[in-house]
Amino acid sequence: MPEQQPSSETRRGFLTRGAAALIAARALPASVADAQDAPAALTVQDVIDRILSDVPAGPAETVDTVKAGDPTQPVTGIVTTFLASCEVIDRAASLGANLVVTHEPTFYNHRDRVDWLQTDDVYHHKLKLLQDGGIVVWRFHDGIHRIEPDGVVTGVLESLGWKDFAHPDDPRVCEIPPMSLPELATIFRERLGTMRVLAVGDPGRRYRTVGLMVGAAGGESQIRFARETGVEVLVVGELAEWETSEYVRDATHAGLSRAALVVGHAASEEPGMKWLAEWLRPRFPGVNVTHVPLRDAMRPL
C-alpha cells in the first residue's frame, strides 16, 4: 500500500506548533533555563551519605544517626564539633550552617533517647533552638574512629605535635623524649586547651612512653590497653575514679613505672573534630565547613 502523504492542513499545523514551541523556548528567562540544566541541590542527607561512603563499613547498629532536623533540605553549611551544645547551635545559626556534625550525644545520654525528656524544659529549649535555625544534628562517633588511622587520634597527634613520636602500627602509642608528669601536664594544657589535668603517679619520675586512650573507654579497656601496650603514662579523657586511677596507684605501689593523666573528655577528642573539618573541605568544595570548639562545661573555681 503506498505511503500516505500528509495533507497541506496537517503540514501547516505541524509547522505552526513547531514555531510556537521555538518562540516559547526562546522566551524562557535565563534563570529558568539555567535551573533546568543545573544539578539538584546537595542535601544534608547527600552530605551524610558521602561521608559514610568514604569510611570503612561498620556494624549495622550504630549511634551515628540524625538526632534532630530534616536531612532532606539543601545543605547551607557544615559545623563540626565535639558536642552540639546550645552555644554551638547558636554559633552554627550565626554562620548560616544547617548541619552540625557532633561527636558526642546531643540529648544527655549515649543513644540520644528523648522519651524521658518530654516534660523537660532544658530539652525543649534546645529543641526550639534547632527548629528555629532549621538545623540538622548528625552524630559521627563510630565512623570517625573507623577511619584509618583513627581520625580522632590523628587530630590529637597533630595538636600535640607528636606525629613523629607515634608508633607506625598503633599511633595511640607514642615514644617521647623523657618527661615528668608536670611537664606532660603542661603540654596537654597548652596544646589541647584544657583547663584541668589530673595525675596519678610519681611526679618526680621521667617517662618515655605515652598511650593516648582518648574519650571515656571505661576502666577495663583502659587497663587492658595499658597492660598490653606497656605504656608508662596512660592519657585518658575521663575515667571512673574507682577503676583506672586505683589500678595505676596499685601499680605504682608494686614498683612499676605507671602513671595516668586525665585531661577531660572534650579536650581529648575535640582535635579529632577539628581534623574532620579539614577532611570534609575537599569533599564538599562548594560548602562552607567550620569547626566550632566546645568550651569545657566544668572548670576550676
DSSP 99-124: EEEESS-SSSSTT---GGGTT-HHHH
Q: Does the structure show a pLDDT above 70 at 10?
A: no
Largest Cα–Cα distance in the chain? 109
Mean per-residue pLDDT of the chain: 90
Q: How far apart are CA 261 and CA 196, in angstroms?
A: 10
For residue 287 the three cell numbers come to: 560548602
What's the pLDDT at 7?
Answer: 45
What's the pLDDT at 6?
Answer: 44
**Cis upstream peptide for 168 (omega within 30°):** no
What's the pLDDT at 33?
Answer: 43
What pTM was estimated for this model as a whole? 0.85
The SS3 call for residue 290 is strand
Percent of the chain with pLDDT over 90: 84
**At 157, is the pLDDT very low, low, confident or very high (cuts 50, 70, 90)?**
very high
Average pLDDT over residues 132-137: 98
Q: Does the structure show a pLDDT above 50 at 4?
A: no
264 or 301: which carries more pLDDT confidence? 264
Q: How far apart are CA 299 and CA 271, in angstroms?
A: 19
Q: Does the structure show a pLDDT above 70 at 112?
A: yes
Using left for φ > 0, alpha for ψ between -120 and 50, and beta otherwise, residue 296 falls in: beta
Closest CA to 217 of 196, 234, 192, 199: 234
Q: How far apart are CA 7 and CA 10, in angstroms?
A: 5
Q: How far apart are CA 141 and CA 20, in angstroms?
A: 58
Q: Indicate the burial class of 220 (C-beta count within 10 angstroms; 0-12, 13-18, 19 or more).
A: exposed
What's the pLDDT at 295?
Answer: 81
Q: What is the pLDDT of residues 27-82, one digit of tens each?
A: 444 444 444 455 579 999 999 999 999 999 999 999 999 999 999 999 999 999 99
* Backbone torsions φ then ψ of 39, nearest 5 degrees: -70, 155
* Backbone torsions φ then ψ of 290, nearest 5 degrees: -130, 135
What's the pLDDT at 14?
Answer: 38
